[in-house]
Structure formats: structure tokens, C-alpha cells
């Protein structure tokens, strides 16, 4: 009797509170997204194309469970390079978002890839950057952007990453946000891809935001079984608590965004300090072959609530 009670208690304790609600996989992946064709809000040297153009030019395709999302790497582009920015049709008030990748965009001069979420009224309903980096970065940066009145503590956040800024207010510090830089090797770009890929997860609750990076060999088994339980995962790479210094009211319903841009506000301003040659727009325009590896190779994207 005691053994049965112990087993039942252990099962209850281990069971995940998260349940799969949305799955973006293979041929159905792009059905859940809108293709954004407006001018890049971050002033990138880019032309975001519609779905028909993206398919015709090979910037997106799917095969079985695999999803490719990239940019033009064949043509000279004197007026900006054709690329992709997509936003989910659906938004979520809270959730656990898990992305499994074989290949990550980034690591090339002039590039600025990202996977992030955003509220309808930016910045007042917040932005959560899960994957982001520029140029030759080798470490991923995770960042929140908000309206005024949201700051994070410098320490005591139970995270493995390194805090680089604490003021999340998009109106100050050139919209740098409150960022945490991953200390894990192979967390971004070419290093991530050469190591065989892995997974990123972001947990968004009324208590705050946590993000994790897992190499393929260290990915929790409960992700593969669609029963993720972050309570049993390692310490997150980044932890942004919602408390007295930044309440949850700064973050509303979130849509997911994939963005493959060039130069612009961050990659452009950091271009020379990254050790890149010449001028950013000129390099991107005249070196199409440099961007053959600038793509996301996605195995699955799932949302749990």
C-alpha cells in the first residue's frame, strides 16, 4: 500500500503541467505564419518577400518534417537582400515554446537572425528575444524589451548566463533592452550548427521568463516525448523574474517571429567592431555566396500551455 502511494505521488510530482497545444512541423509549418513584407523596423539592408516569392526563389521549403528558412544567396543585391520575416497568426497569453534546430542562421558578417516573441502594442506589451546575435557572434543573447518601468536585478536570478544590461525599457539605451549572454559554447550560429544542432526553450508565465539552450546530446528526454517539465531541467541560461521592479503587466499576449535581416541598427553598428571587412551594406550587396549558410533548419516548433 505504501509503495503504491509512493509511486502515485512520484508520478504526480514528475508529471508536467504543460500540455501540447500547437505544433508547427514539416509541410504544415508555414500555414501558421503570416509573411511580413513591410520595411524592416530595425532599418536592415533587406527586402522581406511574400510567401509566393519565397517559395519560387527557394528561400523557404519543406521536406517531410524538415523546414528550411533562409535568404537569397545567389544574386547581387544593390537595394537590399531578399529574405524572410514571418509572424505567427496566433498569440499566446502564457506558454512554453520549444524550437528544435539542425542548423542555425548566423555567424556571417552582416547578418542578424532572431527568433522572438512580441506583443501587439510594442513596446508596451513587451518583446522576448530567445535567439539573437549579429555578425560573427558565437554566443546567443536573450533579451527583454518593454515600456518604461521595467528593470531586472543584476544578480540573484538563478541563471547560467552573464547579465549585460538590466533596464528593459525600449526608450533608453538605444533600445538595447535587458540582456543576458549565454556562457555555453556553441549556443549560436555556425558553432551551434557544426555541433549538430539542439533546442531552445522559453517559458513565459506570470512569474517571469526563463530560457534554455540544449545541445542535441543533452536535450531532456521529456522534450522528445512531448511532456516537457522545466522543473526537472538544469538551471536556465537566462531568468527574467516579474516582481516589484518589473511586473507581468509589461508583457501581454505574444506572437512568435522569425527574422533574417542584414546590417541595420545592431548588426550595422557593430559591423566593424566585429572584425568584418569594408562597409556592411556594401558587403551584403556584393557577396551573395557568403550567405549560403544563413538559414534556419527546423525540425519542430511546439507550444505547450
CA-based nearest residue to 301, from 24, 28, 86, 115: 24
* 132: annotated active-site residue: yes
Q: Which three cell numbers stand for residue 215?
A: 545541445
Distance in angstroms (rounded) separating the CA atoms of residues 56 and 80 = 18
Q: In whole angstroms, how large is the CA radius of gyration of the chain?
A: 19
Distance in angstroms (rounded) separating the CA atoms of residues 50 and 52 = 6
Distance in angstroms (rounded) separating the CA atoms of residues 131 and 294 = 14
Distance in angstroms (rounded) separating the CA atoms of residues 194 and 209 = 28
Distance in angstroms (rounded) separating the CA atoms of residues 53 and 65 = 22
CA-based nearest residue to 42, from 214, 218, 269: 269
Of 4, 51, 125, 132, catalytic: 132
* 292: annotated active-site residue: no
Distance in angstroms (rounded) separating the CA atoms of residues 145 and 217 = 32
CA-based nearest residue to 237, from 261, 209, 217: 209
Of 4, 51, 127, 245, catalytic: 127
Name the region of 274 (left: φ>0; alpha: ψ -120 to 50; beta: rest). alpha
Where in the sequence numbering do the catalytic residues fall?
127, 132
Amino acid at each position: 500500500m505504501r509503495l503504491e502511494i509512493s509511486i502515485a505521488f512520484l508520478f504526480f510530482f514528475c508529471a508536467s503541467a504543460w500540455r501540447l497545444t500547437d505544433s508547427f512541423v514539416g509541410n504544415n509549418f508555414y500555414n501558421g505564419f503570416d509573411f511580413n513584407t513591410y520595411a524592416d523596423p530595425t532599418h536592415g539592408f533587406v527586402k522581406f518577400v511574400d510567401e509566393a516569392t519565397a517559395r519560387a526563389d527557394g528561400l523557404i521549403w519543406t521536406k517531410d518534417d524538415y523546414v528550411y528558412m533562409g535568404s537569397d544567396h545567389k544574386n547581387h543585391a544593390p537595394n537590399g537582400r531578399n529574405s524572410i520575416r514571418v509572424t505567427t497568426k496566433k498569440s499566446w497569453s502564457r506558454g512554453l515554446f520549444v524550437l528544435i534546430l539542425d542548423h542555425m542562421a548566423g555567424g556571417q558578417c552582416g547578418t542578424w537572425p532572431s527568433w522572438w516573441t512580441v506583443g501587439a502594442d510594442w513596446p508596451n506589451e513587451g518583446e522576448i528575444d530567445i535567439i539573437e546575435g549579429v555578425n560573427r557572434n558565437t554566443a546567443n543573447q536573450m533579451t527583454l524589451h518593454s515600456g518604461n518601468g521595467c528593470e531586472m536585478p543584476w544578480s540573484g536570478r538563478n541563471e547560467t548566463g552573464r547579465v549585460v544590461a538590466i533596464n528593459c525599457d525600449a526608450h533608453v539605451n538605444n533600445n538595447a533592452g535587458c540582456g543576458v549572454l549565454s556562457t555555453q559554447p556553441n549556443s549560436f550560429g555556425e558553432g551551434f550548427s557544426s555541433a549538430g544542432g539542439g533546442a531552445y526553450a522559453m517559458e513565459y508565465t506570470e512569474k517571469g521568463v526563463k530560457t534554455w539552450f540544449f545541445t542535441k546530446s543533452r536535450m531532456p528526454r521529456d522534450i522528445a516525448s512531448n511532456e516537457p517539465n522545466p522543473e526537472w531541467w538544469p538551471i536556465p541560461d537566462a531568468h527574467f523574474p516579474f516582481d516589484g521592479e518589473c511586473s507581468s503587466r509589461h508583457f501581454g499576449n505574444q506572437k512568435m517571429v522569425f527574422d533574417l535581416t542584414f546590417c541595420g541598427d545592431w548588426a550595422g553598428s557593430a559591423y566593424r567592431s566585429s572584425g568584418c571587412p569594408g562597409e556592411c551594406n556594401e558587403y551584403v550587396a556584393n557577396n551573395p555566396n557568403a550567405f549560403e549558410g544563413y538559414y534556419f533548419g527546423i525540425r519542430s516548433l511546439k507550444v505547450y500551455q
